[in-house]
A and B are shown apart, each in its own frame.
Chain A
Amino acid sequence: MQIEITVNGTTESHDVEARTLLVYYLRDAVGLKGTNIGCDTTSCGACTVLLNGQSVKSCTVLAAQVAGDEVTTIEGMALEDGRMHPVQQAFQECHGLQCGYCTPGMVMAITSLLAENPEPTEEYIRLGLEGNLCRCTGYHNIVAAALAASGAPEMHQ
C-alpha cells in the first residue's frame, strides 16, 4: 500500500506492506537510521519518535496507522541554523550518554515531556522516563540533561 507520512517536515511517499512497523519504515523506507531498535517489545524506548509532537514507541505503531501524520526523528531535531536542539545540547554538556544507543529515544522522550510540562521537577522527569531504559549511565546525567534543557531559552519560545 502507498502511504504518505510527513517525516521531519518532508512528505515521504512509499509503497509498504500493511504490517510494516513505523520504526522499520523510518529506517528502511525513508533511510533514517537514527531511530534505534532495542527490545522491539514496547519496553525500552530506544525507538521513541514524536508523532504529531507526542512521544511514541515506533516499534508498536504501524506505518499505515500514521499515514497523513507528522513524525519527527532525531535527525529532525537540530535547529534551522544547524545548532543542536537544546535537549541534544544538554546531553552533551551534562554527559548524558555513554554508549549512546538509548540516546535518540531519550532525546525524543524528553522533548515530549518538556512540551507537556516546560517547568518540570526532577520527580516529573524521573517518572516520565520510566519507558526509556539506559544500561550505562544510571540515569543521573540524563535527568540532569533534561532539567538543564528545560531552562534553555529556546525551550520557552
Chain B
Amino acid sequence: MIPASFDYVRVGSADEAIGLLSEHGEDAKLLAGGHSLLPLMKLRLAQPSLLVDIGPLREFSYVTDEEDYLAVGALTRHHDIAVSPLTLSSVPLLAHVAGQIGDPQVRHRGTIGGSICHGDPASDLPAVLLALGATFVARGPNGQREIDAKDFFVSFFEVALKPDELLVEIRVPRPSDARWGFEKLTKRAQDWAIVGAVAVRSASGVGVGLINMGPVPLRSGAVEAAVLSGANAAEAAQFAAEGTEPSADFNGSVAYRQHVARVLVRRALEKAGV
C-alpha cells in the first residue's frame, strides 16, 4: 500500500514548522515518528497535501526533572521514555506503559507527542497521562500555552491543538509516594487494548483512566469519587462503566467492554493499593 502523493518538507526548526502550518492550515499534517499517520495515509484514510516532517527536531527529544514535574519532549520516542533512568525513578508508571506500546520496532519510532496528538481513544498513553494529571505545552505563532490533559481530547481523533500549533512538551506530576496499576486486555501481543485501565493513588489524590471506552480517552470521575469517599477497590470499580460509551465490534459488545472495564479497574486499583 502506497500513500497518495503529497508535498514533503523536512523542517529545521519549530518556527519553520509553525510557519508552514499557518500557511497551509488543515491541508498540512505534522509528521513525527509516523506510526499513527503513515498507516492512515497508506489506507488513504488521511490524504494531507503537505507533510511537515518535524522528526529532525531532536531538541524536543528529552526527559528532564523539573521542580514540580517530569518534562518529556514531545518528540521523545516510546523506547527512550521506557528506558530513561529519570522516568523509571520518578514516574515508573509512564516508563512501564511506554514499554508496552506496540512492539520494539514501533517503540523505536513512535513518539509520545505523536501518540497524544493522534487522539486515538484506544491508545495507552492518553489515558495514563489523564490519570496522572499531565499538562501539555503547545507552541503556535503567538507563543506557548499550557493545556490540561483533561481538556485536550475533544472528540473522536480530535484534540485541542489549533491547526497552526505544535505540541512541544508533556509535563507529568510526580508525587513521590504514588502507587499505580495498569491493566490492558488484548487478544494478541502487540494489539491495541480491547479495554485498558490505569489507576494512580498518592497522598495528593487518585487518578483513574480508561482506554477504549468511548470516543475519547477517559478519566473516570465516578471511580475516583468513590475511592476518595472510602470505597475499597471492588466497591469503587463498580462505577467504572459510568459515563462510558464504548463501541461494539468483533472484539466485544458494549456490555462486554463495560464488564471488562469494571474488572480491570478493580485490578488496577488493587495494584495501586486502594
Contact surface of A with B, Cβ cutoff 8 Å? 1, 17-19, 21, 24, 40-43, 45, 48, 51, 54-57, 60-62, 64-65, 67, 109, 112-113, 116, 127-128, 130-132
Contact = CB atoms under 8 A, between A and B. Distances in A.
B106 A42 contact: yes
Given A45-B103, A48-B105, A61 B34 contact: yes
Contacts of A51: 108-109
Given A18-B7, A130-B190, A60 B38 contact: yes
Given A65-B53, A112-B104, A128-B104, A60 B6 contact: no
Contact of B39 (A42, A48, A55): A42
Contacts of B6: 18-19
Interface of B: 1-8, 10, 31, 34-35, 38-39, 41-42, 51, 53, 55, 79, 83, 102-106, 108-109, 189-190
Nearest to A66: B55
Given A130-B190, A131-B190, A61 B104 contact: no
Contact of B51 (A18, A57, A61, A132): A18
Contacts of B2: 19, 21, 24
Contact of A19 (B5, B39, B103): B5
B108 A17 contact: no
Contact of B109 (A41, A61, A128): A61
A59 to B, nearest CB: 8
B103 A131 contact: yes
A116 B108 CA distance: 12
Contacts of A131: 102-106, 190
9 contacts: A1-B8, A19-B3, A19-B4, A19-B6, A51-B108, A56-B108, A60-B39, A62-B8, A64-B53
List the 7 shortest-distance A-B pairs measured between CB atoms, nearest first.
Answer: A131-B103, A18-B8, A130-B189, A54-B108, A19-B3, A57-B105, A130-B103
Interface centre among B3, B35, B103, B105 (most CB of A within 10 A): B105
Given A19-B2, A40-B42, A55 B10 contact: no
B105 A45 contact: yes
Contacts of B109: 51, 56-57, 60-61
Contact of B35 (A18, A60, A109): A60
Contacts of A109: 104-105
Contacts of A128: 104
A128 B104 CA distance: 6
Given A18-B8, A64-B8, A65-B31, 20 more contacts: A18-B6, A19-B2, A19-B4, A19-B6, A21-B38, A24-B2, A41-B42, A45-B103, A51-B109, A54-B108, A55-B108, A56-B109, A57-B105, A60-B109, A61-B34, A62-B8, A109-B104, A127-B189, A130-B189, A131-B106
B39 A41 contact: yes
Contacts of B35: 42, 60
A55 B104 contact: yes
Contacts of B8: 1, 18, 62, 64
Contacts of A127: 189
A113 B79 CA distance: 12
Contacts of A24: 2
Contacts of B3: 19
Contacts of B79: 54
A113 to B, nearest CB: 7
A128 B103 CA distance: 7
Contacts of A112: 104, 108
Contacts of B189: 127, 130
